[in-house]
């Protein structure tokens, strides 16, 4: 988490806490845009029928231009501005793909950001913006840069609150002290905890993953080939190792 | 030494779940209908979750709980930190005071934009005056033909059709002038020069043919507003370009953001007047009204436009403009009066 990758943005909040966001890629943004344009096409159709009904015209160059240029131009502009402002950055297309527009300071886009994005989309971004996005590490188009915004992926985390305690099935206590514990750190502890508290594994999968993991950990601890720990069943070893490492690192 | 992660989660998870539940309620973006007390509580829950995230970053890096908290805060932050909602009264204030103030603040850019337009006019005039033989190739074709025949160019179809096309085209040009600022203002400068050029060549051609008065009676009713607005839109684009070229103490991207935030209101506010100009251009300008009346309309529109731009929002005792940095969360935290 500390080393931010190129396609992420770290927002420092007012509380001086860094929140990491994942930038959305070109593919998903393009797909979201397509969905939004479908919505706009619907609106254009509706307004066109209304216009034809009111104006009572149905031909001529000027009428064609109104229907083909005037209505789509303003429908697209108004749709994006209203949708981005009203939904705190999630138009229908973005919602469908789990995307959201945020300001680079982490806030929701307001009217001014939506307007700038909309104006750039209606003018230069259809040509220049595409190339820009290809070369920008966070896939920001020109409108994003001028408005100071970014499209991010919203992670679904509602159900992701991790389980609170690992399930220990094999061992009643930490067992005899294991050598080489000092070669392991919090990273290994986290891996052990997530293995032991992972639900939904069949016993076969659990023992297979456990055996691989034990093998790697034993190597990392640089235990000799004849060490007694290598004779323990893998899952028993992992549980004992977890308990000892946790008490050594003072987190359990 | 930190507390065990299990105990950390056990102690705090109820607050996180409360925050999740609250977020789900304002998810669509509608804060309206949620009680102030509830919003205050959400703000508090969010700040505690943020400090939990900071703790988790330090004590449990790389664990699932840290990712979980990051996701939770990432979703909460934009929902709780947002700009002012749009109110009819703020729109009215913006037109009454915001646009004129922004116009006056942008004076150097307005002058630069005007200079570019005038340079285009001068170049166009000179080109026609020096090379009358190729005048017809210098002037946009269809317009020239009609002007040369002393005709007033009437739009096709009804006034509504013409007006809507004119409005769309002019607003598009104004938006291009603004957006061109992101490309160093080069497209903006080109658009201003081209606009001036068209005007200059036409003016020279009609002057040569001695039909100045009828020609300008066609331009005057809408032209005062329309040309002023294009100059203003050009000024906003030049502001953006200047911010990139001379960012001062900011990073270029930041300077651009700030300038765009200031300029966009002026650009769009100005562009909205093109609707008025377009309607005049569609209905009044091509009509058979007396020349004197047309010139009168142009003069009145000019007086109204510039007294608004130069005098609007100058009243004393008015509090400074509303800060757009205020957020819903900050508002929720403000002590009740």
Instruction: State the average pLDDT over residues A104-120.
Output: 89
The predicted structure's pLDDT at residue B41? 87
pLDDT category at B248 given cuts 50, 70, 90 is confident
Rounded to whole angstroms, the Cα distance separating A143 from A127 reads 12
Q: Select from A12, A9, A11 the least CA-distant residue to A22.
A: A9
Assess contact for A157 and B193: CB atoms under 8 A: no
Rounded to whole angstroms, the Cα distance separating B229 from B271 reads 7
Residues 222-281 of B with CB under 8 A from A: 240, 253-254, 256-257, 260-261, 264-265, 267-268
The predicted structure's pLDDT at residue B156? 42
Name the residue facing B156 among A1, A61, A162 (closest C-beta): A61
Residue B32 has pLDDT above 80, yes or no: no
Instruction: State the average pLDDT over residues A225-235.
Output: 84
Rounded to whole angstroms, the Cα distance separating B335 from B337 reads 6
Q: Select from B204, B175, B197, B148 the least CA-distant residue to B272.
A: B175
The predicted structure's pLDDT at residue B220? 87
> Could you give the 3-state DSSP secondary structure of residue A156?
coil
Report pLDDT digits (tens) over B196-216: 998 898 888 888 877 788 888
The predicted structure's pLDDT at residue B287? 77
Q: Which two tokens stand for residue B303?
A: 């007086």
Q: How close A87 comes to chain B (CA, Å)?
A: 5
The predicted structure's pLDDT at residue B85? 67
The predicted structure's pLDDT at residue A119? 92
Report pLDDT digits (tens) over A152-168: 988 665 445 655 556 67
Q: Where are the domains of chain B?
A: 5-80, 88-311
Output phi, psi for A212, to 5 deg.
-60, -45
Residue B218 has pLDDT above 60, yes or no: yes
pTM of the model: 0.75
Residue of A nearest to B257 (CA): A146
The predicted structure's pLDDT at residue B157? 44
Report pLDDT digits (tens) over B145-174: 554 444 544 444 456 777 787 888 888 899
The predicted structure's pLDDT at residue A58? 58
Output phi, psi for A22, to 5 deg.
-95, 125
State whether residue B91 sits within 8 Å of chain A by CB.
no
| Chain B residues close to A246, C-beta within 8 Å | 4
The predicted structure's pLDDT at residue B235? 96
Burial A154-192 (b: 16+ CB within 10 A, else e): bbebeeebbeeebebeebeebbeebebeeebebebbbbb
Across the interface, do A250 and B29 touch by the CB < 8 Å criterion? no
Assess contact for A80 and A36: CB atoms under 8 A: yes
Residues 277-316 of B with CB under 8 A from A: none
pLDDT category at B334 given cuts 50, 70, 90 is low
DSSP letter for B154, please. P
| Chain B residues close to A15, C-beta within 8 Å | 47, 50-51, 54
The predicted structure's pLDDT at residue B329? 52
Report pLDDT digits (tens) over A50-76: 877 776 655 666 677 777 788 888 999
Residue A200 has pLDDT above 70, yes or no: no
Q: Where are the domains of chain A?
A: 8-153, 181-249
ipTM higher than threshold 0.85: no
Q: Which two tokens stand for residue A51?
A: 């216009």
Instruction: State the average pLDDT over residues B70-78.
Output: 85
Rounded to whole angstroms, the Cα distance separating A21 from A105 reads 11
| Chain B residues close to A110, C-beta within 8 Å | 82-84, 324
Residue B337 has pLDDT above 50, yes or no: no
Instruction: State the average pLDDT over residues A221-230.
Output: 83
Phi-psi region at A16: left, alpha or beta (left = phi > 0; alpha = psi -120 to 50): left
Rounded to whole angstroms, the Cα distance separating B24 from A197 reads 28
């Amino acid at each position: 988490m500390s080393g931010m990758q190129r396609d992420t943005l770290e927002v420092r909040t007012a509380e001086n806490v860094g929140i990491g966001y994942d930038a959305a890629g070109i593919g998903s943004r393009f797909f979201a845009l397509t969905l939004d344009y479908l919505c706009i096409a619907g609106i254009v159709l509706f307004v066109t029928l209304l216009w034809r009904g009111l104006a009572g015209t149905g031909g001529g160059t000027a009428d064609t231009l109104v229907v083909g240029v005037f209505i789509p131009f303003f429908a697209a502009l108004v749709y994006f501005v209203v949708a981005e402002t009203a939904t705190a950055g999630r138009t229908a297309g973005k919602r469908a793909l789990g995307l959201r527009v945020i300001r680079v300071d982490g806030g929701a886009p307001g009217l001014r950001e939506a307007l700038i994005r909309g104006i750039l989309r209606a003018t230069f971004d259809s040509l220049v913006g595409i190339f820009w996005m290809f070369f920008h590490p966070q896939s920001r188009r020109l409108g994003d840069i001028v408005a100071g915004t970014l499209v991010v992926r919203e992670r679904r985390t509602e159900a992701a609150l991790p389980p609170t305690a690992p399930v220990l099935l094999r061992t009643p206590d930490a067992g005899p002290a294991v050598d080489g514990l000092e070669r392991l750190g919090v990273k290994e502890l986290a891996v052990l905890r997530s293995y032991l508290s992972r639900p939904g594994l069949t016993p076969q999968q659990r023992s297979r993953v456990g055996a691989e993991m034990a093998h790697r950990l034993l190597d990392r601890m640089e235990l000799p080939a004849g060490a007694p720990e290598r004779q323990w069943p893998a899952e028993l070893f992992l549980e004992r190792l977890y308990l000892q490492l946790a008490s050594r690192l003072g987190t359990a | 030494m930190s507390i065990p992660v299990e105990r950390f989660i056990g102690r705090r998870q109820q607050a996180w779940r409360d925050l999740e539940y609250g977020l789900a309620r304002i998810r669509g973006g509608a804060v309206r209908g949620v009680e102030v007390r509830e919003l205050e509580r959400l703000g508090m829950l969010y700040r505690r979750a943020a400090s939990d995230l900071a703790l988790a970053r330090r004590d449990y890096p790389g664990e699932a709980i840290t990712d979980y908290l990051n996701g939770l805060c990432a979703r909460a932050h934009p929902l709780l930190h947002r700009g002012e909602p749009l109110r009819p009264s703020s729109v009215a204030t913006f037109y009454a005071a915001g646009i004129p103030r922004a116009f006056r603040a942008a004076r150097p850019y307005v002058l630069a934009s005007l200079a570019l337009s005038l340079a285009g006019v001068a170049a166009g005039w000179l080109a026609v005056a020096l090379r009358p033989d190729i005048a017809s190739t210098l002037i946009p074709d269809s317009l020239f033909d009609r002007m040369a025949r002393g005709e007033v160019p009437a739009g096709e179809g009804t006034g509504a059709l013409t007006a809507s096309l004119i409005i769309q085209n002019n607003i598009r040009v104004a938006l291009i002038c603004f957006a061109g600022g992101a490309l160093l203002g080069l497209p903006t400068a080109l658009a201003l020069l081209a606009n001036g050029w068209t005007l200059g060549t036409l003016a020279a051609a009609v002057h040569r043919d001695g039909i100045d008065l009828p020609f300008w009676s066609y331009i005057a009713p809408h032209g005062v507003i329309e040309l002023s607005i294009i100059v203003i839109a050009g000024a906003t684009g030049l502001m953006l370009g200047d911010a990139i070229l001379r960012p001062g103490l900011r990073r270029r991207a930041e300077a651009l953001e700030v300038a765009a935030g200031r300029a966009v209101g002026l650009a769009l506010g100005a562009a909205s007047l093109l609707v008025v100009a377009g309607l005049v251009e569609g209905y009044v300008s091509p009509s058979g009204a007396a020349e004197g009346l047309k010139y009168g309309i142009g003069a009145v529109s000019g007086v109204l436009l510039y007294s608004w731009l130069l005098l609007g929002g100058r009243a004393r005792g008015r509090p400074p403009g509303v800060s757009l940095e205020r957020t819903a969360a900050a508002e929720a935290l403000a002590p009740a009066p």
